[in-house]
Structure 1
Amino acid sequence: MTTAEDLIARSNRLGADPKNTNYAGGNTSAKGTATDPVTGQDVELLWVKGSGGDLGTLTESGLAVLRLDRMRALVDVYPGVEREDEMVAAFDYCLHGKGGAAPSIDTAMHGLVDAAHVDHLHPDSGIAIATAADGEALTTTIFGDQVVWVPWRRPGFQLGLDIAEIKAKNPQAVGCILGGHGITAWGDTSEEAEKNSLWIIDTAAAYIEEHSKAEPFGPALEGYAALPEQERRTKAAALAPTIRGIASADQPMVGHFDDSEVVLDFLAHEAHSRLAELGTSCPDHFLRTKVKPLVLDLPATATVEESVAHLKELATTYREDYQAYYDRHADENSPAIRGKDPLIVLVPGVGMFSFGRNKQTARVAGEFYINAINVMRGAEGLSTYAPIDESEKFRIEYWALEEAKLQRMPAPKPLATRVALVTGAASGIGKATAKRLAAEGACVVIADLDLAKAEAAAAEIGGPDVAVGLAADVSDEAAVQSMLDAAVLAFGGVDLVVNNAGLSLSKSLLETTERDWDLQHDVMAKGSFLVSKAAAKVLIEQEMGGDIVYISSKNSLFAGPNNVAYGAAKADQAHQVRLLAAELGEHGIKVNGINPDGVVQGSGIFAGGWGAKRAEVYGVKEEELGKFYAQRTLLKREVLPENIANAVFVLCGPDLTHTTGLHVPVDAGVAAAFLR
């Protein structure tokens, strides 16, 4: 196994266990020799996890490879702590070969420490010691002289020099606790470094477990205990649109909900408000959670109406406080303020709402705050939680290097941060639409009568950070509300609704039964009404505008034989578009429709018997129905599910922001279905 392969294997093992480090947190390195292809001589190299990578999923492309002699020569030109950010650019001149990841700010720590293998990690147990008010004394008590305390210093070249000096002066030590931050461990072999890292993590955890006070967060608060599961999730769904609107005042955000025991227990105890106000400490934590969360200071028994009203008041205060924080510490060189809205919102008895530019970022922000809760519990259990100073947090949050990293991020896709709900989305038009919206950056809720097919479609599109599958009978009001509740808990809210669920029975007037009529109207006319009504409540409460799109039909205009119930239901849908466009426009909600011709390929309707019936009506073979439809159009083209999906994207994308109440024909040209 090569040095790089060994390092990757160790990194993956350490990163796979959340007790060792958080997602994308920490870095690992190895030193060794390789042949310089220019000289043919051996050269000493440093392999180190690059900027922005994740240990658990690290591959060779995520490593930066540097010439160790050149990297260590930077000590001679180091201009001092006031200009140490310049050293990150200097790392580029130390790179060996091409490709690989950009060197991170922690590269100096790995290169300057005189050990063949180094691990820098962010374990909850280690950060608990690092953020305890008497962390230095605890470090000696817990580890003796094998682990050395390093006072807080912002990550960078000087911290690398500090740790290198500490190791040189303490040859018996296997690692150190970095005040307010995490741990670093080393070893002569990869196995030894990993063993030392795990020993520090596990020893700290065992000490906390054995010596922690019984109630680290203080006594339980009356009325703040977790609500029963169904009650709290119902309340969470009712609050979610308000909370997402609060988190998206400056820029739209995707949300994640967490009601795990660790969150609910924290919020049920007296110290939660004090600790939440102190904020997180580890740089990896607060860069993703913001300096502090917004906490609803009401008991779990507060009504939804009371909670909504107070959340809006707290949001105003939070924004004022964040502006004041920025003003206290910003100078003429600071990046512009990035937004004053909270990324973490805590609701006692209910849970935690976390936000980010996409679902993964939102989910990870929540995971980081859980890390912070665990850190607070450990620190409070042994001592008092004492995170780094607010001024230091600002120096990292508005660090020029962090700003440069943000500027390097790729431009967002057109539908980034938007949450789409598509009904009847396990096949045909609905599935194609869901795929297109996801490809354009949206998070997608795939709703269908068949849960297994909905979940399979979601997995195919990208899994839970991109798409989720739900079972829903759109003709049932309670089922529709459950669908909306699940959607907002999955992604924080809803922005874009596609009323696509439908079915058809091809029968003449005399053959059409009352049940046939009711079934088709229940699914399409009533179903669209119920979905739009439930969705509109969310859209209005979010105050972020939105889109509702009806997949109607050319049959809403064109009178064909043997489909009286279907055509009438589609005409109902078509007029709902006009009615809702007129009513919801004041809330910034656009409502538009699409009128397809018969879409045969991939269609659940056509495969379920409608195709055979229509083929019989037109006197063609069922397998030739698509071609038959194409030949009766002006363009002589068959309409495919993807054509409808394209139209949905155009209506909801960035180019038709001023269009509402429109019906778009996607029928390859059926003159009888022209709108005028």
Structure 2
Amino acid sequence: MPEQSPAAELVARSNALGADPRNTNFAGGNTSAKGSVVDPVTAAPTELLWVKGSGGDLGTLTESGLAVLRLDRLRTLVEVYPGVEREDEMVAAFDYCLHGRGGAAPSIDTAMHGLVDAAHVDHLHPDSGIALATAADGEALTKECFGDRVAWVDWRRPGFQLGLDIAAVKAANPQAIGVILGGHGITAWGQTSEECRANSLDIIRTAERFLAERGSAEPFGAVVPGNEPLPEAERRAKAAALAPVVRGLASTDLRQVGHFTDSDAVLEFLSREKLAPLAALGTSCPDHFLRTKVRPLVLDLPAAAPVADVVARLRELHADYRAEYRAYYDRHAAPDSPPMRGADPAIVLVPGVGMFSFGKDKQTARVAGEFYVNAVNVMRGAESVSSYAPIDEAEKFRIEYWELEEAKLRRMPAPAPLAGRVALVTGAGSGIGRAIAERLAAEGACVVIADLDAAAAEGVAEGIGGPDKAVAVTADVTDAEAVRAAVDAAAVAFGGVDLVVNNAGLSISKSLLETTERDWDVQHDVMAKGSFLVSQAAARAMVAQGLGGDIVYISSKNSVFAGPNNLAYGAAKADQAHQVRLLAAELGEHGIRVNGVNPDGVVRGSGIFAGGWGAQRAAVYGVPEEELGAFYAQRTLLKREVLPDHVAAAVFALTGGDLSQTTGLHIPVDAGVAAAFLR
């Protein structure tokens, strides 16, 4: 087997470590390798450092995610280091140490990897290691746990000086395999990649065993009567009822997407007497609180409290949280600090129910929740052997409002037009609905794929990108309970709903004398009643959120055009068309816009036409079914065929921001049918 390059070895080790959440959190930690290559310019051997770049994730790291630097130049930076008060300037200096083109941007931890005298270095954020790092007597516990095999490094903000500190500790402790970084995590090293990985795992697993064997059984104290977890069905129903309200509060400054967690670890923490005092201390590891904020919002009512009481109390606590966050900012901000980014919580804890976490998109919201679970595990470990003592508030502020973090935020691309929006599309398993769901997701929305065909809905959701982008729900829009369940699913998955597309439909082409009562009822149940039920359930959630919203009806040219053998379908579509006007008038005071799209002749890719409607309409017009699309196109003013993507484009035009002042409008997407012009 050919020998791997240092970079390939590093990626393999990183992926193996990052695959196990016990070792480090998502996008947390960094790894490195040193080695010699021939410089293509001088033809001389050159020592290089390969290190995980800024913002990467160990579990999914590839070679393109590595920064590559010349070690001689990196180590020479020690001679020009201006001191800890100006250490942020060293990050820009890393760029002058880069080797070749491409690669990732060097992270703040690059100095740690370059200055430590070892061929391979791992810096990780395992819960067990951070538990020791945040214990009040962490240094003594580290000595008890590891002897002299692992040294202690006092808390210092990540940067050049921390790299110097660790390098000095390693030099003074040649027997050590790594260090516990106070308040932060661990760093391990080795002369080979395998030795480094083994040392990292040795530290992590030894700390786990130490906490398990020496720790107390009830680190969070006794269960608080009334805060026990609700039964699962009741818990989920309450979460669905609360999610839009909580999301609306968390979006006061900037619209957020939500995530809900009711894992055993979360529910246990929420039930215990130490919940409030520990939550007030906040998290410690920089990776944790950068995503979870300085502390969570904690509801102080029992699990069985009525939803109305919970909502009222959450509003009071949210106002208090915002005032306290403003005070926190004012206490620590310097004249050159970045402006306050927002005073809303990223984590909301509801005893008996679970945890709501928030972020700019679903992945960010989910990861924030995962990081708070990491923090809960850290608190459990620290409390089991000592007491939890995170870094102080001033240090948290220095990192949260670090100019380097601010610069990283400024470099991020502008959000997509529908970023932060949650869409629910009915009949989205095929045809027009699928095209709409895919377009909304492509424009940044999280999408709930609702369809009677569960397999089709799952396929569309998976194709869009899975649960961080889209989720599937089985929904019969004629069933009020099923519709409520679909909206509840949106609330639990993404925090609520902002954009609803009433697309579910079917078509029966018959003359008046051939139309049965059942034909009439089926058409009206699915399209008229179904749209009413979906709009009603969605509007209830939108009003609770207080963020406005969009409801779009996929009506039809037939809502205004009288064609042959089309009574039940045309009448149901006319009902939908007037619902648009009625709801636009009613919901405008809540900032909810209601508009419609009137397609015609969408043959190719249409689920309705493929289900028999195409054959029926072809027979009415006396043309072969395979020529129906072309037939429809020729009778239009533009002589163009209408496709599902054209309807999806109209939905985006109505909801993407450019028509923000428009409601009660019907947009024809029919290539020009003069008889269907709106008057």
Instruction: State the AA in 2 paired with 1:332.
Output: P
Correspondent of 2:492 among 489, 493, 496: 489
1:169 and 2:172 correspond: yes
1:6-25 correspondence runs (5 A)? 6-25=9-28
Between the aligned partners of 1:622 and 1:206, the Cα distance in structure 2 is 71
Correspondent of 2:316 among 313, 318, 325: 313
Between the aligned partners of 2:491 and 2:38, the Cα distance in structure 1 is 55
Secondary structure, aligned partner of 2:121: strand
Correspondent of 1:140 among 125, 140, 143: 143
Q: What's the counterpart of residue 505 of structure 1?
A: 508
1:35-54 correspondence runs (5 A)? 35-54=38-57
Q: What's the counterpart of residue 674 of structure 1?
A: 677
Between the aligned partners of 1:90 and 1:604, the Cα distance in structure 2 is 59
1:245 and 2:248 correspond: yes
1:399 and 2:389 correspond: no
Offset, 1:462: 1.3
Q: What's the counterpart of residue 92 of structure 1?
A: 95
User: For each residue in 1:340-373, what CA deviation from the matched residue of structure 2 results, as whole angstroms up to 9, or x when unmatched?
Assistant: 0000011111111111011100100000000000
User: For each residue in 1:490-514, what CA deviation from the matched residue of structure 2 results, as whole angstroms up to 9, or x when unmatched?
Assistant: 1111100000000011111111111
CA contact (8 A) 2:142 2:152 kept: yes
1:653-668 correspondence runs (5 A)? 653-668=656-671
User: For each residue in 1:418-439, what CA deviation from the matched residue of structure 2 results, as whole angstroms up to 9, or x when unmatched?
Assistant: 0111000011110000111111
Offset, 1:176: 0.3
Q: What's the counterpart of residue 431 of structure 2?
A: 428
Offset, 1:339: 0.2
Instruction: State the AA in 1 paired with 2:61.
Output: L
1:177-196 correspondence runs (5 A)? 177-196=180-199
1:460 and 2:435 correspond: no
Between the aligned partners of 1:601 and 1:175, the Cα distance in structure 2 is 63
Q: What's the counterpart of residue 589 of structure 2?
A: 586
1:290 and 2:293 correspond: yes
User: For each residue in 1:290-339, what CA deviation from the matched residue of structure 2 results, as whole angstroms up to 9, or x when unmatched?
Assistant: 00011111110101101000000000000000000000000101000000
1:148-159 correspondence runs (5 A)? 148-159=151-162
Instruction: State the AA in 2 paired with 1:508.
Output: S
Between the aligned partners of 1:654 and 1:531, the Cα distance in structure 2 is 23
Correspondent of 2:609 among 606, 610, 634: 606
Between the aligned partners of 2:158 and 2:37, the Cα distance in structure 1 is 29
Between the aligned partners of 1:383 and 1:202, the Cα distance in structure 2 is 19
Offset, 1:469: 1.0
Q: What's the counterpart of residue 419 of structure 2?
A: 416
Aligned residues: 676
Between the aligned partners of 2:237 and 2:324, the Cα distance in structure 1 is 31
Structure 1 spans left out of the alignment, 5+ residues:
none
Q: What's the counterpart of residue 539 of structure 2?
A: 536
Between the aligned partners of 2:219 and 2:477, the Cα distance in structure 1 is 47
Offset, 1:598: 2.1
Between the aligned partners of 1:636 and 1:258, the Cα distance in structure 2 is 52
Secondary structure, aligned partner of 1:315: helix
Instruction: State the AA in 1 paired with 2:261.
Output: D
1:45-444 correspondence runs (5 A)? 45-444=48-447
Between the aligned partners of 1:307 and 1:598, the Cα distance in structure 2 is 50
Offset, 1:551: 0.2
1:639 and 2:651 correspond: no
Instruction: State the AA in 1 paired with 2:300.
Output: D
CA contact (8 A) 2:432 2:607 kept: no
Instruction: State the AA in 1 paired with 2:463.
Output: E
Instruction: State the AA in 1 paired with 2:394.
Output: S
Percent identity between matched residues is: 77
Secondary structure, aligned partner of 1:533: helix
1:515-530 correspondence runs (5 A)? 515-530=518-533
Instruction: State the AA in 2 paired with 1:337.
Output: M
1:30 and 2:33 correspond: yes
Offset, 1:20: 0.1
Between the aligned partners of 1:563 and 1:262, the Cα distance in structure 2 is 58
Between the aligned partners of 1:70 and 1:25, the Cα distance in structure 2 is 26
User: For each residue in 1:390-433, what CA deviation from the matched residue of structure 2 results, as whole angstroms up to 9, or x when unmatched?
Assistant: 00000000000000000000010111000111000011110000
1:567 and 2:570 correspond: yes
Correspondent of 1:616 among 612, 615, 619: 619
Secondary structure, aligned partner of 2:368: helix
Offset, 1:211: 1.1
Between the aligned partners of 1:467 and 1:15, the Cα distance in structure 2 is 25
Between the aligned partners of 1:243 and 1:35, the Cα distance in structure 2 is 57
Between the aligned partners of 2:162 and 2:366, the Cα distance in structure 1 is 30
1:552 and 2:560 correspond: no
Offset, 1:64: 0.4
Between the aligned partners of 2:483 and 2:27, the Cα distance in structure 1 is 38
Instruction: State the AA in 2 paired with 1:245.
Output: G
Offset, 1:674: 0.5
Between the aligned partners of 1:623 and 1:231, the Cα distance in structure 2 is 52
Instruction: State the AA in 1 paired with 2:595.
Output: N
Offset, 1:14: 0.3
Instruction: State the AA in 1 paired with 2:355.
Output: M
Offset, 1:601: 1.1
Instruction: State the AA in 2 paired with 1:114.
Output: D
CA contact (8 A) 2:259 2:494 kept: yes
Offset, 1:94: 0.4
Between the aligned partners of 1:337 and 1:9, the Cα distance in structure 2 is 40
Deviating beyond 6 angstroms after TM superposition, the runs of 4 or more aligned structure 1 residues are none
Between the aligned partners of 1:116 and 1:216, the Cα distance in structure 2 is 39
Between the aligned partners of 2:179 and 2:306, the Cα distance in structure 1 is 48
Secondary structure, aligned partner of 1:118: strand
Instruction: State the AA in 1 paired with 2:147.
Output: G
CA contact (8 A) 2:601 2:633 kept: no
CA contact (8 A) 2:600 2:642 kept: yes
Secondary structure, aligned partner of 1:415: coil
Give the structure-1-normalised TM-score. 1.00
Between the aligned partners of 1:67 and 1:649, the Cα distance in structure 2 is 49
Instruction: State the AA in 2 paired with 1:439.
Output: A
Secondary structure, aligned partner of 1:242: helix
Structure 2 spans left out of the alignment, 5+ residues:
none
Between the aligned partners of 2:276 and 2:622, the Cα distance in structure 1 is 73
Instruction: State the AA in 2 paired with 1:110.
Output: H
User: For each residue in 1:108-155, what CA deviation from the matched residue of structure 2 results, as whole angstroms up to 9, or x when unmatched?
Assistant: 000000000000000000000000000000000000000001010000
Give the structure-2-normalised TM-score. 0.99
Between the aligned partners of 1:636 and 1:595, the Cα distance in structure 2 is 17
User: For each residue in 1:53-86, what CA deviation from the matched residue of structure 2 results, as whole angstroms up to 9, or x when unmatched?
Assistant: 0000000110000000000000000000000000
Between the aligned partners of 1:515 and 1:263, the Cα distance in structure 2 is 50
Secondary structure, aligned partner of 1:267: helix
User: For each residue in 1:554-589, what CA deviation from the matched residue of structure 2 results, as whole angstroms up to 9, or x when unmatched?
Assistant: 000000111111000000000000000000001111
Instruction: State the AA in 1 paired with 2:444.
Output: G
Between the aligned partners of 2:601 and 2:373, the Cα distance in structure 1 is 51
Between the aligned partners of 2:250 and 2:454, the Cα distance in structure 1 is 31
Secondary structure, aligned partner of 2:391: coil
